[in-house]
Amino acid sequence: MPYYPPIRRMPDTMRNRTLNGLSRLRRQLDQELPSRTVTDTLMLGTWNLRNFDDNRFVHGFRTQEDNYYIAEIISRFDVVALQEICEDLTPLDRVMRVLGRNYSYIVSDVTEGPGGNRERMAFIYDTDKVSFRGVAGELVLPDRMQIIDGDGDDAKRRQFSRTPFMCAFQSGWFKFVFTTVHIYFGSDSGPKYKRRVKEIRKVAQFLSKRADRDINRKDLGSHLLVGDFNIKFPGSDGDEALKEEGFTVFRNRKGSNKSQTRFYDQISFKSKQDRVQLANADSHGVFQFFDSIYREDDFADYRSEVIKSVRAKITRLKSEKAAAERRKARARTDKTRNKAEEDIQTAVANIAKWTQALGDDAELKTYYLDDWRTFRASDHLPLWVELKIDFSTEYLEGLAEA
């Protein structure tokens, strides 16, 4: 259970909002997610926690209020994989303090290079329920399996844009290797979409071979592959790549983006027979937290903070415009000068757009709904499954038959 006493020290407006939001959120969680058990089942999840949390897009850093909502959701899991954790771990540590001493995390290093966005991936788990088995690693493709972009002489071999992260855990009788990914997005068509599908297929191929080798080992067990695959919809190329490599997917009934129209996030597994079992047929789903927090009806409560974000954007844009003007003044070639001028005009247009928004509540509300609130919580919704972890009866029956 999260640690609530610091809420008393919040400013009055934030404290009241937080208490009301937590009350709604807790009721929704109680209604839609199974209660955690001590020994019978495992609540496992995955959540892309959008750009957590370096404010590179100037929508504002997460606040103490946001951290309570995030921690409340995470507290309903025994173990959860997180994507888009930023380089600075201070924001994650703030959430961990709310979660309490029984929760711990294991986090990957940042992925270097332009495609990696200096992101980390993490597993948060309840140490009273889940034990880390000492095995952790980042997935690096051998030469023969590297992703090939292009054809002929133009073909290039490469690794994943963001390095998948895997750890071995155990809960009760259930041993599992837990792998999380954040697949390259690119575009919804053309070469960049093909690159996305290739990444999904390669991670599935690699882990399928590992799973075939590991599932009969007593020290490792089943493989669970989760994360943000950027799958467009069931039956699309990326989705088929998982199934064709032998992974069973817990099929989402609804999408996992904020409007629930896209099926980006997935929970899948490969296991020896009967070692990954749902607690019951309905023990998986997507949690739509915007039904309880940062609702459309809450815009008036956050209007002043939305305005602060817009003003910060205008300040950043003015700095970018000034920097472009300096580059233009120093330019020695037409190419450099023209690029600086393009940057100046882009900044001017965006300054005008956001300045206009400051005087238009309809535009402010659209920004609040489409972008601002997704940088307080996320633009992805958490996925969950409830799995059986008590196989004592099957074990005893096996001994009787031996």
Task: Provide the 8-state DSSP code for 259.
Answer: T
What whole-number distance in Å separates Cα of residue 66 and Cα of residue 5? Answer: 16
pTM of the model: 0.95
Count of the separate structural domains present in the chain: 2
Are 22 and 110 within one domain? Answer: yes
CA distance 400 to 396: 6
Question: What whole-number distance in Å separates Cα of residue 358 and Cα of residue 248?
Answer: 49
Asked if residue 384 and residue 361 are part of one domain, the reply reads no
CATH of the domain at 219: 3.60.10.10
CA dihedral 317, 319, 321, 323 (to 10 degrees): -140
- Residue 93: inside a domain: yes
User: Which pLDDT does position 153 carry in this prediction?
Assistant: 65
Residue 94 φ then ψ, to 5°: -65, -40
- Residue pair 383/226 in contact (Cβ under 8 Å)? The answer is yes
Write out the two tokens for 341: 């001028």
Q: Give the whole-angstrom CA distance, residue 205 versus residue 63.
A: 40
Geometric angle at alpha carbon 47, from 41 and 51, rounded to 5°: 155
| Whether 309 and 212 share a structural domain | no
Q: Residue 388 to residues 159, 172, 307: CA-CA distances in angstroms?
A: 35, 9, 47
Secondary structure E strands in 271-310: 284-286
Q: Are residues 315 and 247 both part of a single domain?
A: no
Same domain, 41 and 89: yes
Report if residue 299 sits inside a domain.
no
Which residues is 285 bridged to in the sheet?
384
pLDDT along the chain (402 residues), means of 10: 94 97 98 96 98 95 98 98 97 97 96 83 98 94 84 77 94 95 90 88 90 78 93 84 89 91 94 85 95 98 97 97 97 95 97 97 98 98 97 86 74
Burial class (CB in 10 A: 0-12, 13-18, 19+), 23: exposed
Buried b (16+ CB within 10 A) or exposed e, 86-113: beeeebbebbbebbeeebebebbebbee
Tell me whether residue 288 is in a domain: yes
Does residue 235 sit in the same domain as residue 273?
yes
pLDDT computed for residue 156 by the predictor? 82
Same domain, 313 and 365: yes
Task: Provide the sign of the torsion angle of the four alpha carbons 386, 392, 397, 401, taken in this order.
Answer: positive
Range of the structural domain that residue 35 is part of: 5-294+379-401
Instruction: Tell me if residue 103 falls in helix, strand or coil.
Output: strand
Question: Is residue 342 assigned to a domain?
Answer: yes
Dig out the tokens for 376 from the structure: 């307080």
310 located within any domain: yes
State residue 111's pLDDT score: 86
Identify whether residues 192 and 113 lie together within a single domain. yes
84 plus 148 within the same structural domain: yes
pLDDT score at 397: 83
Tokens of residue 148, six digits: 């090939």
Q: Are residues 255 and 363 in the same domain?
A: no
Do residue 253 and residue 336 come from a single domain?
no
**Pair 369, 383 in one domain:** no
Three-state DSSP class for 104? Answer: strand
95 φ, ψ (degrees, to nearest 5): -65, -40
